[in-house]
Amino acid sequence: MALAYIVDGGLNDQPGTGADLYERFPAVRDLYARVHEWTGLSVGRLLAWELPAQQEFRQVGAIRQAAVVLGLCDVLAEHGVRPDVVGGLSLGGRISACIAGSLSRQGLFELLARLRHAPPPPGPAQGVAALVVPAEADLADLLRGEDLVNGGRLYVAAELGVVGGGRDRMLLLAGYRAALDELAARLPKGTVRIPKDVVAAYHSPLSQYLVDFLDPALTATPFRDPAIPLCSCMTPRPLTTAEQVREEFRLNPVARVSLPQVFAGLEAHEVELALLLGPAQVDLFLESPNVQVVHVESPEHLPEALTAIHDFGVQLSAGGAR
C-alpha cells in the first residue's frame, strides 16, 4: 500500500505554529538554522507572528509553513517513515515538489524568500472569497458568466471539493474586490465569505505581476525530475520531469488549482492513507471516500499518525514507507 504526504496551501498557520516542534525536536532546530542561512530570517521571527494575514504570509508565513512541513518530514524519517507519493495545493504543491526531490530545500526557501520583495497588486483593490454552494448547483448560472473570465472581474481560483458530508461544495473565488462585494450582496447571506485582510487575487490572471516578478529567480533555480510520484493540483497527469515542475511553479500564481485533482492523483497511485503535514484547513481533506487522512502539525499528532501507519500495514524501512 502506498503512503502519501499531502500539504495544504498558505494562509492557514496561526500564531505559535511550529514553536512546539522547534522546542521538542533537534532535527527541526537544525532545519530552522539552515532556513535562517537561506532566507536571512531569524529563528525568533520564524516563530513569531507580527503582521496582518496576507503581509505575514508574504514576509514569513510561506517560509514558516515550508519549515514546519519539512521539519515534520525529518521527524517522521527518524521513525522510518517516508512517503511513496506526494501532492499539495497551491503553496503546498511547491513544498511537495521539494519533498519529491525536484528541487533542493535551499532552492525552495530562496524562492519563497523572493516573495518577501514582491510588489503589491496593481490596479483596483483585489481579494478572494470562499463560496459554498449546494453540490448540485449550476455554477455558471449562479455566478452569471459575464462576471467570470470573459469580464475579467472574477475567477474561480480553487476547487476545494465537497464539504458538509457531501451536501455542498466549496470554491475559492479571486478577483476585484468590488465584484466580490457585488456577488456577496446578491447571493444568500453566508454563501460568500470574504476575508478582509487578503488583498490579492491569488490563482487568477490578475496575479500575472507575480509571475513576472518571480520568473528570473525561477529560471535560475535548478530543478530535477521528481524521485517519487508528484501529484499535480493543476493537471490530471503526475509531474514526472524537471521542466513540468518548473512550469507548475511558474503558473502557480495565475492558474486554477484543485484539491479533488490532488486526491484523484493519490487514488491513481493506490493511496489509502495520507498524512496531511503542517497548517491546513483540515476539514477539506477529510471528505475523500477512498483516502484516510491524518493531520500532523504538532508533536501531539505524531502518535495517531504512527498508529495509523501501523494499522494500515505500511512497512517501514530505511528507504521509506513500503
CATH number at residue 73: 3.40.366.10
* Alpha-carbon dihedral angle through residues 127, 198, 54, 209, given to the nearest 10 degrees: 10
Q: 242-251 and 208-220 are packed helices; what angle lies between their axes, rounded to 10 degrees?
A: 150
175 and 226 inside one domain: no
Strands 316-317 and 320-321: antiparallel
Q: What is the pTM of this model?
A: 0.94
* CATH number of the domain where residue 146 is located: 3.30.70
pLDDT value of residue 226: 98
Which three cell numbers mark 126?
A: 483585489
C-alpha–C-alpha distance, residues 152 and 256, integer Å: 14
Q: What is the mean pLDDT of the chain?
A: 92
Q: pLDDT digit of tens for each residue in the chain (322 aa)?
A: 899 999 999 989 888 999 999 999 999 999 999 999 999 999 999 999 988 888 899 899 999 999 999 999 999 999 999 999 999 999 999 999 999 999 999 999 999 999 999 999 999 999 999 999 888 887 767 666 545 544 678 899 999 998 888 889 999 999 999 999 988 998 888 889 999 889 999 999 999 999 999 999 999 999 999 999 999 999 999 999 999 999 999 999 999 999 999 999 999 999 999 999 999 999 999 988 899 999 999 999 999 999 999 999 887 754 444 3
Q: Nearest 5°: phi and psi at 13?
A: -80, 160
Picking from 199, 222, 253, the residue at the C-terminal end of a domain is: 199
Q: What b/e sequence results for 135-151 when a residue is b if at least 16 CB atoms lie within 10 Å of its CB, and e otherwise?
A: eeeeeeeebeeebbeee
- Residue 227: domain span: 2-117+208-321
Burial class (CB in 10 A: 0-12, 13-18, 19+), 20: middle
Three-state DSSP class for residue 197: coil
219 and 295 inside one domain: yes
* Strands in 31-125 per DSSP E: 85-88
44 and 101 inside one domain: yes
